[in-house]
Structure 1
Amino acid sequence: MTNETSTANVVLVVAHPDRNSATWAIGRAIEQGIRTDGTASVTTHDLSRAGFDPVFGEQDLEHYRNGGDAPADVRREQQLLDPADVIVVLFPVYWWAMPALAKGWIDRVFTRGWAYDDGPDGGPSAINELHFVGVAAVDEGTYDRRGYREAMTTQLQHGIAGYSRIDESSVRLLFGAETADPHVHEQLIAEGHKIGADMARRAQAVFDRAVEA
């Protein structure tokens, strides 16, 4: 992936239909964190409002099996991601995993020859960095006791990013989104801002390396 813009860029992909949700409140905090020092820009992609179809259909299967052109809506998604130095996927946790909208986006958009190459020579991914931010309704202890955090990390960081040979990736879970305690919500917003600032630094580092190359 090559960023041909004049500044570092983060693409924030959000998979939640309600803009008044805790997930979107955290998303806005991530946006603010990215913009804090003015070194990086952010492009926010609302999968729900964009009308993205997460169902892996016949055209997707044909592309997977025989190559050729990806479906037009998939190429539009990839073209949106192409200039990104860092990609962040923000989603509410449903049944200890990504919701169908986010998972289907990965299924369809992360195509062979673009996101990964499973051939004998194993070419690089088009993605520089991929980071997942999950918003959980319950407390952190539930995830640790049941092993949900480890399971999600294995699936997302190792199963998706690792398989795609994306060198830098992470899974961050934010807990207690459905609590009535306002202090918890303040902490979630603060954590979102910190994540955004970290993503801006990461994007700037990727951008600088590309300029120097």
Structure 2
Amino acid sequence: MHALIVVAHHDPRSLSHSLAKQVAEGLGPSHTFEIADLFAEAFDPCFNAADHAVHRRQVPPPADVLAEQARIDRADALVLVYPVYWWSFPALLKGWIDRVFANGWAFDFNLEANRMEKQLGRLRVHLLGVAGADAGTYERHGYAAAMKTQIDHGIFDYCGARVLSSSLLPDAESQDPEPHLRTARALGRDLFTCPGAIEAAQPASDRQAAPVA
């Protein structure tokens, strides 16, 4: 089985990059992976007029968006590794979502019929956020719940994808990173054995169609 590991951090020496590598190493020789380094690859995260035309189904997606969609289509699991900026994704990763998870591919909204069909029912998602603050801060102010509502439900459930794990690694700037690296390696090791992952191994023709919202 194949995993697409997306990392959104400008510094290749960052903890985010180290975590992505640990997820890949944890997969072992039985599975394949690709690491998508959005900064090194100079992905343009700016949603522009051309992207809006894609959303309106007036033009096909541009080549860079099609390439990212093809990466996801090849994957049995999508892993996002990212630092938390202002209690959310960094702009680079949010822009990747904005442009790549487009109408007609991630979902299909028919304005005339007032119907929205979720298109990513086959996709299994794992989230690994790197947090500078401690866990108590996230719970005390409701940031953890807000992020889960915004990201897990608001993005992935909207498209029909299932978030099988959503981990927030606290105190990343002040504590020994080794426990977080072990968490990432364990995620890779268990990526295709956790509950729900087996469904992603089915051929596309055998998967149940995505539900209509």
- Structure 1 distance, partners of 2:6, 2:108, is 23
Tell me, yes or no, if structure 1 residue 201 matches structure 2 residue 201: no
Residue identity opposite 1:200 in structure 2: F
In the alignment, structure 2 segments of 5+ residues that lack a partner are: 207-213
Of 10, 19, 23, the residue aligned with 1:26 is: 19
Instruction: Percent identity, please.
Output: 36
Does the CA-based 8 Å contact 1:116-1:126 persist in structure 2?
Answer: no
Residue identity opposite 2:160 in structure 1: R
Tell me which residue corresponds to 1:174: 169
Aligned length: 201
- Structure 1 distance, partners of 2:131, 2:162, is 26
Runs of 4+, deviation exceeding 4 Å: none
Does the CA-based 8 Å contact 2:5-2:36 persist in structure 1?
Answer: yes
Residue identity opposite 2:4 in structure 1: V
In the alignment, structure 1 segments of 5+ residues that lack a partner are: 1-7
- Structure 2 distance, partners of 1:189, 1:132, is 14
Tell me, yes or no, if structure 1 residue 9 matches structure 2 residue 2: yes
Does the CA-based 8 Å contact 1:136-1:177 persist in structure 2?
Answer: yes
SS in 1 for 2:109: coil
**How far did 1:169 drift?**
4.1
Does the CA-based 8 Å contact 2:133-2:171 persist in structure 1?
Answer: yes
Tell me which residue corresponds to 1:140: 135
Does the CA-based 8 Å contact 2:82-2:89 persist in structure 1?
Answer: yes
Write out aligned runs for 1:1-213 (5 A). Answer: 8-35=1-28, 38-119=29-110, 120=115, 122-125=117-120, 128-179=123-174, 181-182=175-176, 185-201=177-193, 205-206=198-199, 208-210=201-203, 213=206
- Structure 2 distance, partners of 1:201, 1:68, is 39
Does the CA-based 8 Å contact 1:114-1:126 persist in structure 2?
Answer: no
Greater Cα shift, 52-61 or 68-77: 68-77
SS in 2 for 1:11: strand
Q: Which has the higher contact order (CA 8 A, sep 6+)?
A: 1
- Structure 2 distance, partners of 1:155, 1:104, is 15
> Could you report, residue by residue, the CA deviation over 1:74-95 in whole angstroms, capped at 9, with x for unpaired residues?
1111112211001111100001
**How far did 1:167 drift?**
3.6
How well do the aligned residues superpose, as a CA RMSD in angstroms?
2.0
**Which one has a larger percent helix, Structure 1 or Structure 2?**
1
- Structure 1 distance, partners of 2:63, 2:49, is 13
